[in-house]
Structure 1
Amino acid sequence: MNILMIEDNEAVCEMMAMFFEKEEWQATFSGNGEKGLTIFLNDQEKWDMVILDLNLPGMDGMQVCREIRKVSLQVPIIMLTARDSESDQVIGLEIGADEYVTKPFSPLTLMARMKALYRRSQLGSQTLVKEENPFDIQTRVIQMSTVTRDVYYQDKKIDGLTPKEFEILALLAAHPKQVFSREHLLNRIWEEPFFGDERTIDAHIKKLRQKIEVVGPQVIHTVWGVGYKFDDTGIE
């Protein structure tokens, strides 16, 4: 992987540099938010992943994440922060971060999260051999390809889904009317053990619903006290 790590703690950067080198990953480090954003924008196609600290000089991590998402919806972003408040996590996820890791963290845990997130993101870069029906998930109104990561709602394309949003929709749509708890979704979508707040799922669902509603009636429904389900019955 080519990794851009925007982090102003030199000790953290030095520690992760050793782990990246062991995996033979190429890493570029920046200790300033504004400069790190410039590095990303100068060569957007180069980066396979962005590791982004929340508290940065020049421009904070929230601003950097927001600017990256304006030009790239696909690059995986993992946020690092010393903060542990639920509101920070929700805001970070709502503006487009895919993962949220609280300091102090285990380098091995971060590496595992990175590998899992990278595997999922790479599915979108594979070339699909043209077939009569390229969609492997289909409902009455939704068509999805887990290879090209294309999603259509009654022939209207749903644009701008982040990797996590796509995975959540794919899981729900593949099991219509089945109710998934937040814990179940975290275990299925995040793959690695997740130790954050279960309301992380709520933040992703909120953004996913907003993007669905651009093209048609809502298909993701809340089952109060339990979780979420996909149901497109009754939609004409």
Structure 2
Amino acid sequence: MNHVDHVLIVDDDHEIRELVSSYLEKSGVRTTTVADGRQMRAFLECNTVDLIVLDIMMPGDDGLVLSRELRAGAHKAVPIVMLTARSDEMDRILGLEMGADDYLTKPFSARELLARIKAVLRRSRMLPPNLQVSEAGQLLRFGLWKLDTTARHLIDADDTVIALSSAEYRLLRVFIDHPQRVLSRDQLLSLTQGREAELFDRSIDLLVSRIRQRLGDDAREPIYITTVRIEGYVFSVPIEIIEARE
């Protein structure tokens, strides 16, 4: 029996919930709709979903709070597409920083939302399509750090585990699989999010900044990720496979 994707829609606007739900259902996607964080938590206690569509602007706990909560809990691996009421760049940056996998600005077409949902689900179920890597589990070493590709987390020199959001892991993995190579922002966005960069889109710069923070890398005197003026970024340290797992 073929799997039917199940999407949870969290939005306080009844009309948007019904519109989105109706369109997705007609397109073969199972949906559940809830109006706020309380209802979302209650539903997720007893149910699993493949993806969450999450509005930022809601009464009570907003989408940013809920996204951060999801990423810290039992549903940390569930992809999130965030809806923003404004085209405000800061909303998009904060959404990605809190763990969203993609975002869409209101007003939006249901068709575009479906396309974004399908793209995010595709990415969540495989590595970025242009990467030529073996996906047997690996423990990779670079500098003072190790990356566990099975658990998708970092391990520091003291063997402390550092959790990564799905977006952070994808970007770090792109760097690790393309060391010593300058990658433009367009290339990074395409490899990690499957879409072309929009004018003034700073999401990649934000994610690079987040990874630098995770690695304790100083942007002014970087060890791991070097900024190449105008061109993009380069991962500057060699990679060693220290353990391969079946």
Q: TM-score, normalised by structure 1?
A: 0.79
Q: Secondary structure at the match of 1:111?
A: helix
Give me the whole-angstrom Cα distance separating, in 2, the residues matched to 1:108 and 1:137.
40
Q: Which moved more, 1:152-161 or 1:115-124?
A: 152-161
Partner secondary structure for residue 80 of structure 1: strand
Structure 2 counterpart of 1:175, from 178, 186, 189: 178
The reply to whether residue 213 of structure 1 matches residue 212 of structure 2 is no
Q: For residues 93-137 of structure 1, what are the alpha-carbon distances to aligned partners after superposition, in whole Å with 9 as ceiling and x for unaligned? A: 11111111101112222112111211222248xxxxxx9x74397
In the alignment, what sits opposite 1:51? 53
Match in the other structure for 1:224: 229
Note the 1:163-202 alignment, pairs <5 A: 163-195=166-198, 197-202=200-205
**Count of aligned pairs between the two proteins:** 222
Q: Where in structure 1 are there 5+ consecutive unaligned residues?
A: 125-130
Distance 1:112 1:35 in 2: 26
Tell me how far apart the structure 2 counterparts of residues 172 and 92 of structure 1 sit (CA, whole Å). 22
**Worse overlay, 149-158 or 15-24:** 149-158
Residue pairs, 1:59-208, within 5 angstroms: 59-71=61-73, 72-123=75-126, 134-135=137-138, 145=149, 148=150, 150-151=152-153, 156=159, 159-195=162-198, 197-208=200-211
Contact 1:165 1:204 in 2 (8 A): yes
Where 1:46 maps in the other structure, the secondary structure is coil
Greater CA drift, 97-106 or 115-124: 115-124
Q: 2:243 corresponds to which residue?
A: none
The offset of 1:35, in angstroms, is: 2.6
**Structure 1 CA distance for aligned equivalents of residues 97 and 177 of structure 2:** 24
Provide closer, same or farther for how the CA distance between residues 119 and 7 of structure 1 changes in structure 2, counting only shifts above 3 A: same
- CA distance in structure 2 between the aligned counterparts of 1:21 and 1:64, rounded to whole angstroms: 24
* Aligned CA distance change for structure 1 residues 151 and 58 (closer, same or farther; 3 Å): closer
Distance across 1 between alignment mates of 2:223 and 2:80 = 27
- Secondary structure in structure 1 of the residue aligned to 2:163: coil
Instruction: Flag as ranges the 4+ runs of structure 1 deviating above 6 A.
Output: none
- SS of the residue 2:53 aligns to: strand
Q: Give the secondary-structure state (helix, strand or coil) at the position aligned to 1:50.
A: strand
Identity of aligned residues (%): 32
Give SS of 2:82's match: strand
Once the two structures are superposed, residues 168-209 of structure 1 have per-residue CA deviations (whole angstroms, 9 ceiling, x without a partner) of 112111111211121221122221345474201122222222
Unaligned stretches of 5+ in structure 2? 128-133, 239-246
Structure 1 counterpart of 2:228, which letter? V
CA change 1:118–1:8 in 2 (3 A) is same
Instruction: Tell me the SS of whatever aligns to 1:29.
Output: strand
- Alpha-carbon distance between aligned partners in 2 of 1:67 and 1:198, rounded to the nearest angstrom: 25
Task: Give distance in 2, aligned partners of 1:189 and 1:68.
Answer: 21
Q: Tell me how far 1:92 sits from its aligned partner.
A: 1.6
Counterpart in the other structure of 1:127: none
